[in-house]
Amino acid sequence: MLTEKVVLDNIKNYVRTILGDGTVEVEITNKELLTLIDQALRKLRPYYSGVRYVQASGKNIDVSNHDPIAVSRVWNASDMQYRTIQDFMFGGVGLMIYDINFMQRFEMMKAYQMLWNELQNQKGENFRLLNNIIYLDGYLDNALIEMTVNIKTVTDVEEGSMYADWLLDYTLALAKEMLGRKRGKATLQGSPIQLDASSLLSEAASEKVRLEEQLVGDIYVY
């Protein structure tokens, strides 16, 4: 899995390359690009969810930092055999699985096949979810929680998916819009060089409409 910095750098490089960086000056700072990426992510967030696996301990477990849409299952991870794989998968913020049919996703990752075989034979714990608190019947030193969540960071968007493409394209549209507005404020009196402010703004507007329609319709249609 790529780190957040690498994903952000990839998006920034993509946008700058498409806008002609290296051939012409692209008057957008890295800080401005990060703001545009965040705007695109916030636009995508309500339409894209996945399954996240996290580990925790306790009897009443606060999962508000993940803001779950729903909690599907809770296991006692202390009973699991494959601790090395387990530590790799569930450290930090938790593993994001993008396909709600997570069995299919696990089958795609052979390194996790043994763990999956064990998970499907594990009996889940009884729990209640109320106001982002998971209430268990008893204390668990190592609870494994499966929850459906909206994306929070760029690394939650599945690499190579159409949602990742959407994020790239929407960030690019926002960048064209910003660049068009900046160039529209500049004038080159007596110069044969014409700034492309109008075309950038026109392209940005049409691309944003197309991409936003994909979110409320079918994102797989291009």
Q: What is the pTM of this model?
A: 0.68
The pLDDT of residue 86: 46
CA 151 to chain centre: 5
Give percent of the chain with pLDDT exceeding 90. 38
Strands 133-150 and 49-62: antiparallel
Nearest to 219 by CA among 37, 46, 68: 46
- pLDDT higher for 13 or 118? 13
User: Is residue 220 pLDDT above 80, yes or no?
Assistant: no
| Amino acid code (one letter) for 76 | N
User: Is residue 111 pLDDT above 50, yes or no?
Assistant: no
The pLDDT of residue 93: 45
Residue count of the chain, please give it.
222
Distances (CA, A) of 205 to 150, 162, 197: 27, 21, 12
The pLDDT of residue 192: 44
166's tokens:
């959407």
The pLDDT of residue 42: 94
- pLDDT higher for 31 or 79? 31
Give percent of the chain with pLDDT exceeding 70. 73
β-pair partners for 71: 147
Read off the pLDDT band of 96 (50, 70, 90).
low
Average pLDDT over residues 163-180: 94
Read off the pLDDT band of 45 (50, 70, 90).
confident
The pLDDT of residue 112: 54
Ranges of beta strands (E only) in 42-115 are 49-62, 68-76, 95-97
The DSSP call for residue 21 is B
CA 13 to chain centre: 18
Nearest to 42 by CA among 153, 148, 149: 153
Beta carbons within 8 Å of 57's beta carbon, 6+ residues apart: 139, 140, 141, 142, 143
β-pair partners for 147: 52, 71
| Amino acid code (one letter) for 159 | E
